[in-house]
A and B are shown apart, each in its own frame.
Chain A
Amino acid sequence: MTTRRLAVVTAGLSQPSATRLLADRLADATRRSLGRRGLEAGFDVVELRDSARELTDNVLTGFPPPRLRDVLNTVASADGLIAVTPIFTASYSGLFKMFFDVVEAGALTDKPVLIAATGGTERHSLALEHALRPLFTYLRAVVVPTAVYAASSDWGSGDSGGNGLRKRIDRAADQLSQLVDAKASTGPTDPFEDLTPFEQLLSSK
């Protein structure tokens, strides 16, 4: 069985957090979906709270301390990414943004990404479309069409209405696994290995 590695980035702050709960459900659904395609999946879950101080250091100094560097490498080398944030003040949380601010340029290029968010009420669900989707588009990731928003009330609702949380999770997970399946497993491009010879630099006027 072929194996794919996916990174799950979650910016929930409390423990346990609804954001982590949603992230785990998305990962499980993606695992099942990839399994149906004959792919085995490994998941590396990144709790951004654990890197909060190192993220601040990185923003100030310009380089990641060792533990954060490992986390960034995990995300950069993953075959797919599930990114989940609580919605704070009409957008992704500051911690979530700080992480994607220090991800190396090009690390998410062409990477399949599933975006998801949690919030108190359904009124903030479009933050996924006006804040998260453009962020990942800027990073040149490929974002799946279904973004999953879970309001507090979703955790107590069934799927019989036709479009409950479980259905949305499964649909998004199928879309992600389809992209992960279709894409050959490749890491980010390395400018040191893709060097432009100097004669070419000189003549590119």
Chain B
Amino acid sequence: MQFGIFTVGDVTADPTTGRTPSEAERIKAMVAIALKAEEVGLDVFATGEHHNPPFVPSSPTTMLGYIAAKTERIILSTSTTLITTNDPVKIAEDYAMLQHLADGRVDLMMGRGNTGPVYPWFGQDIRDGIALAVENYHLLNRLWREDVVDWEGKFRTPLQGFTSTPRPLDGVPPFVWHGSIRSPEIAEQAAYYGDGFFANHIFWPTEHYTRLVNLYRARFEHYGHGRAEQAIVGLGGQVFMRPSSQDAVREFRPYFDNAPVYGHGPSLEEFTDQTPLTVGSPQEVVDKTLTFRQHFGDYQRQLFLMDHAGLPLKTVLEQIDLLGAEVIPVLRNELDTSRPADVPDAPTHEARRAAAEVDHDSLVSDQNQTFEGTLR
């Protein structure tokens, strides 16, 4: 089981002080959050990708490359990479490069973004959203697996004899998750390739996401990658903690009431009741997070959103300290010990490389047996 942080990268005024951090402060804060995540024993740091204010992370591999140089263990990921408007060739190159620099500590989550005008800004049409996600990812998938690619599609220049460099580290492409909040087509896509499926599971009720995850699991089995329970599922979550529940509610309320996504609508109490948001003590966070498995089955990755709505860096770092000290050890123990042996652990580069070597060896030994059999 992997635990981590995912960040949207919004620059939002702190509603309690009215102060808005500069872009420079926010970018450095994101780095500090990633380093803190590694320090307290989290497994994953993922950054969003946006191309409009008030968001800063337009260039994820620049940021993740810098973090890679300052960390040793944490997996660097995205939440999400815009598979619709980025050139799949550039994604293949950028993330293979990052994979080498980070010694394999890289995976990606594909998404379609939350801002309509990004499509025309990058020369695309939002009505092609699904078609772009399908075609672009199919090309990306091939670029990482075939040394020389001939390709022709609807949305980009054809390729003749193209080799994406550098080749993936150890011949093992970065693991890919597909994230979607409403499209069954994307759950179907993740299942088709045997990739992971991530439900962001933050701003809407849990039942909304269970349909997508159940569909993904059923189709994962349909496409022959294993049983439905063996599909690779990731979930988001949103928490705010203080040692005492009352302190957490009191401190978080102004951030909640003014938050860009849900502010000025439902009350904090209604929202925590209706969505996965937990505001309370570490024990309450543990209890709520343990209910996720009842809704989604055994899963492999849990990411938390901790740094939005104008929360100051100091507060966010305290949150991550609490997460690392009091929440994750309990969750890790519970979720790892209860997961059946035949449900895979979260994907890592090492495990995938080892699996690829076993596949290769068994292929070679199969061939040898056939050869020897023929000789005899």
Interface residue count for A (Cβ, 8 Å)? 19
Q: Does A202 sit within 8 A of B, measured CB to CB?
A: yes
For residue B126, give the distance in angstroms from its CB to the closest CB of chain A.
15
On whether the beta carbons of B274 and A201 are closer than 8 Å, the reply is no
Per the bound structure, the CA–CA distance linking A205 and B130 in Å amounts to: 12
Contacts of A62 in B (CB 8 A): 203-204
Inter-subunit contact B153/A205 (CB<8 Å)? yes
Which residue in B188, B203, B208, B274 is a CB contact (below 8 Å) of A195? Answer: B188
Task: Report yes or no: A61 in contact with B262, Cβ–Cβ below 8 A.
Answer: yes
Among B204, B215, B264, contact of A63 (Cβ-Cβ < 8 Å) = B204
Residue-wise interface mask of B (181-215) relative to A, using a CB-CB cutoff of 8 A (1 in contact, 0 not): 00011001101100000000001110010010001
Q: Mark A169-191, 1 if CB is under 8 A from B, else 0.
A: 00000000000000000000001
Q: Does A66 contact B (CB under 8 A)?
A: yes
Contact B261 A202 (CB under 8 A): no
- Assess A195 versus B265: contact at CB under 8 Å? Given A62-B204, A202-B134: no
Which residues 252-286 of B sit at the A interface, judged by CB distance below 8 A?
261-266, 270-271, 274
Most buried by B among A59, A62, A198: A198
A195→B131 contact, CB < 8 A: no
A66-B274, A195-B215, A201-B134 are contacts. A61–B189 as well, Cβ < 8 Å? no
CB atoms of A198 and B188 under 8 A apart? yes
Q: Which residue of A lies closest to B204 (CB)?
A: A63
Report the separation of the CA atoms of residues A154 and B191 in the bound assembly, to the nearest whole angstrom. 61
Judged by DSSP, the binding face of B is helix
Which B residues form the contact surface with A (CB < 8 A)? 130-131, 134-135, 138, 153-154, 184-185, 188-189, 191-192, 203-205, 208, 211, 215, 219, 223, 261-266, 270-271, 274
* 10 residue pairs, one from A and one from B, having the closest CB atoms: A60-B265, A198-B192, A57-B265, A57-B266, A63-B204, A205-B154, A61-B262, A201-B134, A198-B188, A192-B184
Chain A residues in the interface with B (C-beta under 8 A): 56-57, 59-63, 65-66, 191-192, 195-198, 201-202, 204-205
Q: Known pairs A63-B203, A198-B188. 20 more at Cβ < 8 A?
A: A59-B265, A60-B262, A61-B262, A61-B266, A62-B203, A62-B204, A63-B208, A65-B274, A195-B184, A195-B215, A196-B188, A198-B189, A198-B191, A198-B192, A198-B223, A201-B130, A201-B185, A202-B138, A204-B131, A205-B153
